[in-house]
Amino acid sequence: MPGTAAPTIYETGTLRGVTGPTIRPGGLQLTGRGVDFCRFAPGARLADVGCGAGATVEYLRDQRGFEASGVDPSPLLLQEGRLRDASLPLLQGGAERLPYGDQSLDGVLCECVLSLVPEPDRALGEFGRVLKRGGRLVLSDLYLRSLSAPALCGPTIDGCSAGARSRKAVETMVGDAGFSLLIWEDHSALLRELAARLVLAGGSLEGFPCGAAGSGGSPGYYLLIARKD
């Protein structure tokens, strides 16, 4: 998750208390679903782009047996991950310029991050560069289920809602970057669940898509898996 001079909602506050180190709807649930679908070989080399405090990297290494590493621009979150487990390979960097060689990875995971990236097309190009031919891209993120912009609970847009796009727009971006779509799944229930948990925890939904808390709002949450052609 991107870091700034002042701590963001991903680095501190009620959201962290509710989500724990994964800092996204559903936690590791969609990570496991994506990995199971991709059927990576034991020891496959994977990268978590926007790894935050490294919860996914830890899961992929310790519970799934992959050679996983993470990249994130936030020094605060990376330090948190290193303090929890000094063996985690967590690197500082952004999605638009990854610290990996060409065709060096079997899989790239990018969970609740692409909509935060200033240049998502460039990031997708980087994913394609570092993936081997036939490598898998696992994306989960906010998207717009209708053409209308999402209503926000407050004036601050500090989260995935800032760069949310329609399903068609996301699929087009992924295709234009040289990927073939394998699955698209709607997991908007996880977004609504997170909103409810934030309310129960006494947190504010300022900057959170209001529609996520109800059944008919325009924001949704998806899982996309694609193959590098």
The amino acid at 31 = T
Residue 95 is classified by DSSP as T
Residue boundaries of the structural domains of the chain: 14-228
**What is the reported pLDDT for 195?**
74
Q: How far apart are the first and last CA of the chain?
A: 28
Phi, psi at 83, each rounded to 5° = -70, -35
Residue 201 is classified by DSSP as T
More confident of the two residues 145 and 97: 97
Q: Which pairing describes strands 67-72 and 45-49: parallel, antiparallel, or unpaired? A: parallel
CA angle 222, 225, 226 (to 5 degrees): 135
- Count other Cβ atoms within 10 Å, centred on residue 86: 8
CA distances from 183 to 31, 111, 134, 179, 216 (A): 14, 15, 15, 12, 24
| pLDDT at 106 > cutoff 80 | yes
- What are the pLDDT digits (tens) for 164-221? 899 999 999 999 999 999 999 999 998 888 777 776 666 555 545 544 444 344 789 9
CA distances from 215 to 65, 67, 145, 188, 219 (A): 38, 39, 12, 9, 10
Task: Reply yes or no on domain 14-228 having CATH 3.40.50.720.
Answer: no
- What are the pLDDT digits (tens) for 40-98? 999 999 999 999 999 999 999 999 999 999 999 999 999 999 999 999 999 999 999 99
Q: Which pairing describes strands 105-111 and 90-92: parallel, antiparallel, or unpaired? A: unpaired
**What is the reported pLDDT for 165?**
92
Radius of gyration of the chain (CA): 16
